Chain A
Amino acid sequence: MRARNNNSSERLTEALAAASPDLLRYFQRRLPIDDAADGLAELMLAAWRRVDSTPPGAEQCRMWLFGIARHVVTNAARSERRRWTLTERFREVLRTSPTEGRPADDGADVRDAIGRLTPAQAELVRLIHWDGFAITEAAQILSISPSTARTRYQRARADLKTALSDLTPEVTGHLPMTVVGTSAGDPSCTTAPSIPHRTIRPADVILPPSQRIDISAYPV
């Protein structure tokens, strides 16, 4: 038995407080708009479950959290997104909150070109250009060596240069334009109603009524 370590809890609390805004943006850049809150919830739950593994040092904690975030996104691609009850209100807040960045259609060709890279190359490019990580930091998040990251990044750039050869850059040499507006998320997300079901085994095994199965999050 390992009790939750106070120092670990404090480190994780501080790390999540500092990194949550960037982690939310990370999920919003990779998941459908309604899934970002759930992705962040999954990350936080996973982090709290491993609280005793929280690395020492703020920067190491931050890298650790983004490493977990990467796994959440990877898993999301393989299975249906879970809807956490505790994110219901958060999803609604995100739907009605202003957004920032280039207009949604802007950069679509580039995003498509990134999407045609290998998954490993694409994520490296996203970490560097969308999330602002240095190549060595991105390497750490992806659990690869810096030299591998550099090689992979150069190949990705070469592929992107070819893929984007028909695109004329509209502006160069200045900071990205910021447009503030309201997102147009679909508020009609639904969750199938659930019916609790208990399975018991013979003899003396009777589950208390409160221990029901909430299947609303099952990937079925």
Chain B
Amino acid sequence: MGPTSDDLDGLLDRSAPRTTVMTDSVADELTQLRVATSVETARVTARRPWRRPVFAGLASVLLLGGAATATAAVTNSWVPWAQTPVASMAYTLPSGVECEERIGNIRGQDPAAVEAVKNFYRTTDIESLLTKEKIASTIEWIRQDSNIAVNADGSTEPAGYGTVHYNADEEYQRAVTMIVTAAVSAELANQGIDGADSNLSSDGQSFCPGASW
């Protein structure tokens, strides 16, 4: 025989997991979080304008190169460091355009960290990181992120998937960058490099003839 209706209500009511007592400290943190999130979203919408809409993710501060034009995209003009890259990879955008991306200009204050990054790129089959599943999950993450278009006059409007500003090629390339960068960071973590070198960075340059960003 099962519990009576009253018994069942009691069992269900009492099964709620424990929660935090609303102390003054917790209440203060709630207030600060409310203010911080308000400021954070306002800050995103105030980012500097670009010549055409620029898409800024909230957690990932990735500004896509809005100044690139179709003409520039078909001009194979590698910047100096990209003429001797540490690594390169090829991928196909949703539009069918083939991209070559070169990675290099790795720099930072911690020589060990810089060497670790270089070594990662030299020894890793980067294209093998770009599986369909990983691309799909990363794109899903991107679509959940904040995307705001900043117009030339500084005004903003929603951007990203489902808006007039959506560009599948841009989204795909952003996913590629995120996957590769995250893999580098994971490798650094594995090596116990704690990321204290805030100037550790690398650059990438892509050549996607025919792409219309």
Say if the beta carbon of A111 comes within 8 Å of chain B: yes
On whether the beta carbons of B138 and A172 are closer than 8 Å, the reply is no
- Check B33–A1 contact: CB distance below 8 A: no
Q: Give the CA-CA distance A48 to B146 in the complex, in Å.
A: 11
Pair A215/B60 contact, Cβ less than 8 Å? yes
Shortest C-beta distance, B152 to chain A (Å), equals: 11
Q: Does A136 contact B (CB under 8 A)?
A: no
Across the two chains, which residue of chain B brings its CB closest to A17?
A: B34
Q: Is the CB of A202 within 8 A of B58?
A: no
Q: How distant is B109 from chain A, measured CB to nearest CB, in Å?
A: 13
A110 touches B207 (CB 8 A): no
Within 8 A of B (CB), among A6-53: 9, 13, 16-17, 20-21, 24-25, 28-29, 37, 40-41, 44-45, 47-49, 51
Residue pairs across A and B with CB atoms within 8 Å: the count is 298
Asked if A161 and B2 sit within 8 Å, CB to CB, the answer is yes
Chain A residues lying within 8 Å of B156, measured Cβ to Cβ, are 1-2
CA distance A97 to B22 in the complex (A): 9
Q: Which residues of A contact B68 (CB under 8 A)?
A: 201-205
Complex: A98 Cα to B26 Cα, angstroms: 10
For B38, B58, B66, B173, the residue with the greatest tally of chain A CB atoms inside 10 Å of its CB is B38
The smallest beta-carbon distance between B115 and chain A, in angstroms, is 13
Q: Could you list 27 A-B pairs, sorted by A, with CB under 8 Å?
A: A17-B31, A24-B26, A41-B33, A44-B38, A45-B146, A90-B29, A100-B20, A107-B15, A114-B12, A129-B15, A161-B3, A164-B2, A164-B8, A169-B10, A171-B10, A193-B196, A195-B185, A195-B200, A199-B65, A200-B79, A202-B73, A202-B75, A202-B205, A203-B75, A205-B67, A214-B60, A215-B178
Does A99 contact B18, Cβ atoms closer than 8 Å?
A: yes
Chain B residues within an 8 Å CB radius of A211: 61-63
A90-B33 in contact (CB<8A):
yes
Q: How close is A15's CB to chain B, nearest CB, in angstroms?
A: 10
List chain B residues, Cβ under 8 A from A16.
Answer: 34
The answer to whether A164 and B60 touch across the interface, beta carbons within 8 angstroms, is no
Q: Which of B's residues lie within 8 Å of A, judged by CB?
A: 1-3, 5-23, 25-27, 29-34, 36-38, 40-42, 45, 58-63, 65-69, 72-73, 75-79, 101, 103, 113, 117, 134, 137-138, 140-141, 144, 146, 151, 153, 155-157, 173, 177-186, 188-189, 193-196, 200-208, 213
Alpha-carbon distance between A63 and B200 when the two chains are bound, in angstroms = 44
Q: Are B141 and A101 in contact, CB atoms less than 8 angstroms apart? A: no
Whether the Cβ atoms of B21 and A87 lie closer than 8 Å is: no
A110→B12 contact, CB < 8 A: yes
Give CA–CA (A114, B141) in the complex, Å: 28
The answer to whether A197 and B59 have CB atoms under 8 Å apart is no
A218 touches B205 (CB 8 A): no
- C-alpha gap A40/B50 in the complex (Å): 32
Residues from chain A with a CB closer than 8 A to the CB of B75 are 202-203
- Whether B37 contacts A218 by the Cβ 8 Å rule is no
Q: Which one of B10, B23, B38 lies within 8 Å of A13 (CB-CB)?
A: B38
The distance in angstroms between the C-alpha atoms of A48 and B77, with both chains bound, is 42
Residue of A with least CB distance to B9: A129
Contacts of B7 in A (CB 8 A): 169, 172
> Known interface pairs A102-B18, A193-B185. Does A201 touch B11 (Cβ–Cβ under 8 Å)?
no
